[in-house]
Amino acid sequence: MVFSITMLIIAGIAFYFFGTLLYVNNADRELLILKKEFVSLSLPALKPDKIAAWNEFNRDLKIRDNDKQLAGDIFFYHSYYNCLSETYERYRVLHSPVSIQGKNYIFSAKINLIKDEALIIGIVRLFAIIGFLLLTGLFLITRFLSIRLWKPFYTTLQQMERFEIDKVIKPELPNVDIEEFERLNAAISRLMDKNTSIYASQSEFIENASHELQTPLAIFKGMLQTLQQRDDITKGQFEILENINVAACRLGKINKNLLLLSRLESRQFDITQGMTVNAVVEHQLPFFTEQAQARNLVIRYTSQAVLYVSANGVLLEIVINNLFNNAIRHNNREGEINIVVKEDSLCFSNSSGSGPLDEVRLFNRFTKASTSSQGSGLGLAIISRIATLNGWRFSYRFEEKQHFFRVDF
């Protein structure tokens, strides 16, 4: 379209100037014909005393004195006043030297250019109208054809935008007769099948591995407790066993979290029920208050409204439990935790001496605020995944040396 408009503008300007040159050359030829007719027909019989009468008889032809000693033909533009229209009109004028009975005169002839200019302007206008209609038709036809041509592509694009690898239902790509789109859809289908298969295998592996690890871990922890209860171990040996037991407990927690993530990915928590977030928070508050007091932390709970949600009760408890753990674990000594329940959101904030967390990696699995953290790095990832599955929004911000974690329901 830009190229067409540019070419039409250039062509219109070129046509105007070329047309102007043509009609000027045509006017000059007509003036030369008038001169030739005058020289062959009127000049032989014309006498000096008849020049005034001849000038009055001819409107566009005049005989003038050769005061400037003109030696050859000259063409030029000049405007003359028209009494009838009371306007100045543009003429093309020829001055040519002639001799009447041995005395030099100037033969002057003029042609009105208004008619020819009006013709050129009219043609240019017609050219502009045709160009406008041509461009409009080209735009409409191109747009209509583009919509038809690209419709399969946009259908495929919409299917890809709605595609989620953890869903069982595979998008149905349209059947098209266009070779390029057919190849594109075939490549996308193969890619989706391959990635879905890999994802399913990965989820199955994690779930199976987590299940298989539970029994050995339980036996291992039981044997550690048996060893700790023996009377013949030394104090140093007891401390080593205690450290091993702590590591085993942490390993068991990671295993449970991985199993939970696997179950979330496979959507095994479909049962929902109506409940209030306030009740779940208040139910867990006494337990975590004791943990907070052990670290000299103060928990402030504010209920500004009753927040009703429709969710799986186990998952909602996991979300609130992880928010409590995160706020306690990553807090200052003698810090504070603020919990605010509003009409559509739940917000946990805790004091911290460090700066803001990395928001890009914060909700990724096994991401920790520091290497010294005792957590598994899965708590926030689990909250984020549960929020996504339920259509909630889980966000983080850092203000006035406090970390804010908010869930919008």
Class for domain 2-121, per CATH? alpha beta
What pTM was estimated for this model as a whole?
0.46
Q: Give the tens place of pLDDT for each residue, 156-192.
A: 888 888 887 766 567 778 788 888 888 888 888 888 8
Which CATH architecture is the domain 273-408 placed in?
2-Layer Sandwich (3.30)
Closest CA to 181 of 157, 165, 164: 157
Q: For domain 179-265, give the CATH number.
A: 1.10.287.130
DSSP for 278-340 reads HHHHHHHHHHHHHHHHHTT-EEEEEESS--EEEE-HHHHHHHHHHHHHHHHHTS-TT-EEEEE
What residue spans in the chain does CATH classification 3.30.450 cover? 2-121
336-341 and 298-303 as β-strands: parallel, antiparallel, unpaired?
Answer: parallel
| Contact status, residue 79 vs residue 89, Cβ threshold 8 Å | yes
Q: Give the tens place of pLDDT for each residue, 213-263.
A: 777 777 877 887 888 787 778 888 888 888 887 777 777 766 776 666 666
DSSP single-letter state for residue 268: -
What residue spans in the chain does CATH classification 3.30.565.10 cover? 273-408
Mean pLDDT, contiguous 10-residue spans, the chain (409 residues): 80 79 84 88 84 84 83 86 76 88 87 70 78 85 85 85 72 81 87 81 70 74 80 81 78 70 63 83 90 89 92 84 88 88 92 74 61 60 84 89 91
